[in-house]
Structure 1
Amino acid sequence: MTILILLLWVVALGLGIASLVYFIMVLIRMFQNDESTLGIICIVLTFCVGIGPLVTFIMGWVKMDKLQTQAIMPKWTTYIVAQFVLTIIIFALAAVAGANAQ
């Protein structure tokens, strides 16, 4: 069971790295399409409060036509949802493994 949890954790980590790449891609699109202020706000919010990726994600969908993120946003959304579901599965498996160990 622990091998399965470890493998799922590695997959979740890979999804997180892919999500980070898409976050950076949307930030780059913000700076390329005259949304520098929004890009700076998202970067500052990332390091100060931690909600920068959420703001970037929402604005990537809202300003999809201006930022030209039609190809990026569905993939980024899929990675986020898959990572969320996988994390829930990992915690459930870890809870079952912990309960069986006692």
Structure 2
Amino acid sequence: MGFLFLGLAGILGLVSLVCFILIIVKMFQNDDTTLGIICIVTIFCGIGGLIAFVMGWINAGKYNASQLMLIWTGAIVGSVILNIIGQVLIGGQAA
């Protein structure tokens, strides 16, 4: 049963990835090219997603992306919750 929750968390992870890409596109469309490039380059360092998330919320009105940011936030929160539930149900057993 725990694997079901982990699978759903994985799907929400894909939703989060799509939201990240859409925010990057919005950055380029609104002449925030430098910010978009920084987010793309630093995603490999692990902070690009965080930068895009924070700047997406700060500029949600400018990007007309309030609904997208709500979806992204829900996907992140849901993924964390489902991962925790899945790990508890599995019992934290190492494979």
Fold similarity call, TM over 0.5:
yes
Percent of residue pairs bearing the same amino acid type: 44
Question: After TM superposition, which residue ranges in structure 1, 4 or more long, deviate above 2 angstroms?
Answer: none
Listed one character per residue, the Cα deviations across residues 59-78 of structure 1 (whole Å, up to 9, x for unaligned) are 00001111111120011101
Matched, 1:67 2:58: no
Listed one character per residue, the Cα deviations across residues 12-33 of structure 1 (whole Å, up to 9, x for unaligned) are 1110001100010000000000
Matched, 1:56 2:41: no
Q: Is the 8 A contact 2:38 2:48 kept in 1?
A: yes
Distance in 2 between the 1:68 and 1:44 partners?
24
- Ranked by relative contact order (alpha carbons within 8 Å, sequence separation 6 or more), the top structure is 2
Unaligned runs of 5+ residues in structure 2 are none
Distance in 2 between the 1:95 and 1:6 partners?
11
Q: Is the 8 A contact 2:2 2:86 kept in 1?
A: yes
**Correspondence for 1:10:** 7
- Whose Rg is larger? 1
